[in-house]
Amino acid sequence: MSNLPPAFESRMRKQLGQEADAFFKALNQPAPVSIRLNPIKTTGKIPDTLQSIVDKKTEWCPEGYFLSQRPVFTLDPCYQGGAYYVQEASSMFIGYLLKQIIHEQPVKVLDLCAAPGGKSSLTVSALPADSLLVSNEVIRSRATILKENMLRWGYSNVVVTNNDPSDFSAFESAFDIVIVDAPCSGEGMFRKDPASIGEWNENNLTVCRDRQKRILTDIWKTLKPDGYLIYSTCTYNPGENEEILEWICRQFQAESIPVSLPADTITPGNSTAYGYHFYPHKTTGEGFFCGLIRKKDGEKYRPKKNKKQKTTTFPIPPELSRLLIHSENLTAQNEDNRITILPDMHGEFIRQLRSELKVTAYGCEAAELYNRKIKLLHPLALTTWLNKQACSCYEAELPEALRYLKKEDIQVNAKTGEWILITYRHIALGWGKNLGNRLNNYLPKEWRIRMDLPTDLI
Ligand code: SAM
């Protein structure tokens, strides 16, 4: 890479010593492509659409795989149905960290800087049953993408919010784990996203460091005593990495926790706090840093009395409960004739979140009631709570699946008025309803594939 900022280059030479040449050489190699399977939707089986390009497994994430080339993911219905997420391999290490700290007890987790959803989708798949993830993003446009990606991933024990870290002050000691994948100077993305090189400057390193401290100060109280903070960045800059971990330990009642490393290609940071670097000349992946911190003090969480109107929950209507797995642990809410299904045990906490924060999605928005009829909604097709055996399914071939995803008409033989779950390689894509001579395509229009479909695929 010839256009690296000289100040970055000289700092990296000092930081890496004899390894620096290998590091700069790695930056000239193409960025590896990797994906992570959705354990529930795929049951660990690589989708047929990727079989011919799967290379090897990633080192620390059992669901992670490298691909030998980058396909057009938009044109893979399995991707559209949430069978896998395209994620850079180093950052899948967060799943390994989670395994060190979560056991069988359900936990509440806050992923504070979550868009577009890589760590959130990884995290929710790693949580024990009955856990809840709050997946937050402060920037509105990015929060929309986060919501879409989390709905596609299909785990519905998730609340998506669009808030500033300071807005979480009402949730003192509410979370067992807080993940701060902080906005940073992004040096680890130089290879994957060369445009980020132009945004780098030394002044910005200070801006990033100060913002990271502000975010951590705002959010620290939300962590329970003995709870864990996972801090990560995609930069090599010690000022945003190990120095931030040291600062947390000085600033709060906190201790840095070491982890035993699954590979000797991971480089422990050079500091009094335990942090782990991922350099592209050593690990197959992009630049990444993370560390684990445990909170020592704090108050127990006492939910405030809910000031706003109570939303009453009620048993799930039979037309819906027959479509759901484990419906006995779920409950329903009806707001303006839209029925949302949520985990019974988190109903009160979700209400609290909704009264204090800008919640953009929670549970599974399953159906709309109109004229005493029920209209099934897209999140129900995508949720892992859906019992596909109870649905009338239409298994589409690739051209039909793509036309469906482009929101075009497809022909399906079914009873008039019947709700049909359109699937591709048994991955649910969305709903259709037969109107006699044609299928009404219920894919929301904002979800449709916008690119032209190549003629050889349709
Ligand atoms: N965790 C994400 C993933 O795995 O897909 C990537 C997160 S990215 C490294 C950092 C995120 O922090 C961005 O989405 C950015 O919009 C958000 N962000 C920017 N400024 C912020 C702030 N002041 N407070 C909290 N989050 C912020």
Record the tokens describing residue 380, joined without a space. 């129900």
Strands 175-181 and 108-111: parallel
CA-closest residue to ligand 1 atom 11: 113
Q: Which residues pair with 130 in a beta bridge?
A: none
Three-state secondary structure along the chain? CCCCCHHHHHHHHHHHHHHHHHHHHHHCCCCCEEEEECHHHHCCCCCHHHHCCEEEECCCCCCEEEECCCCCHHHCHHHHCCCEEECCCHHHHHHHHHHHHCCCCCCEEEECCCCCCHHHHHHHHHCCCCCEEEEECCCHHHHHHHHHHHHHHCCCCEEEECCCHHHHHHCCCCEEEEEEECCCCCHHHCCCCCHHHHCCCHHHHHHHHHHHHHHHHHHHHHEEEEEEEEEEECCCCHHHCHHHHHHHHHHCCEEEECCCCCCCCCEECCCCCCEEEECCCCCCCCCEEEEEEEECCCCCCCCCCCCCCCCCEECCCHHHHCCECCHHHEEEEEECCEEEEEEHHHHHHHHHHHHHCCEEEECEEEEEEECCEEEECHHHHHCCCECHHHCEEEECCHHHHHHHHCCCCCCCCCCCCCEEEEEECCEEEEEEEECCCCEEECCCHHHCCCCCCCHHHC
Predicted TM-score of the model (pTM): 0.96
CATH code: domain 8-25+91-294 is 3.40.50.150
From the candidates 234, 290, 364, 391, which is the catalytic residue? Answer: 234
Cβ contact 174:108 at 8 Å: yes
How far, in Å, from the CA of 146 to the mean position of ligand 1? Answer: 11
- Nearest atom in ligand 1 to the alpha carbon of residue 179 is 1
Amino acid at position 98, single letter:
L
14 φ, ψ (degrees, to nearest 5): -65, -45
Domain residue extents for the chain: 8-25+91-294
Closest residue by CA, ligand 1 atom 8: 183
Q: What is the pLDDT along the chain (458 residues), one digit of tens a residue?
A: 668 999 999 999 999 999 999 999 999 999 999 999 999 999 989 999 999 999 999 999 999 999 999 999 999 999 999 999 999 999 999 999 999 999 999 999 999 999 999 999 999 999 999 999 999 999 999 999 999 999 999 999 999 999 999 999 999 999 999 999 999 999 999 999 998 999 999 999 999 999 999 999 999 999 999 999 999 999 999 999 999 999 999 999 999 999 999 999 999 998 999 999 999 999 999 999 999 999 997 766 666 665 555 667 788 889 899 999 988 899 999 999 999 999 999 999 999 999 999 999 999 999 999 888 899 999 999 999 999 999 999 999 999 999 999 999 898 888 888 999 999 999 999 999 988 778 899 999 999 999 999 988 87
Instruction: State yes or no: cis peptide before 317, omega within 30 of 0.
Output: no
290 flagged as catalytic = no
Ligand 1, pocket residues at CB < 6 Å: 113-119, 137-139, 142, 165, 181, 183, 211, 215, 234
Burial class (CB in 10 A: 0-12, 13-18, 19+), 428: buried
Residue closest by Cα to atom 15 of ligand 1: 183
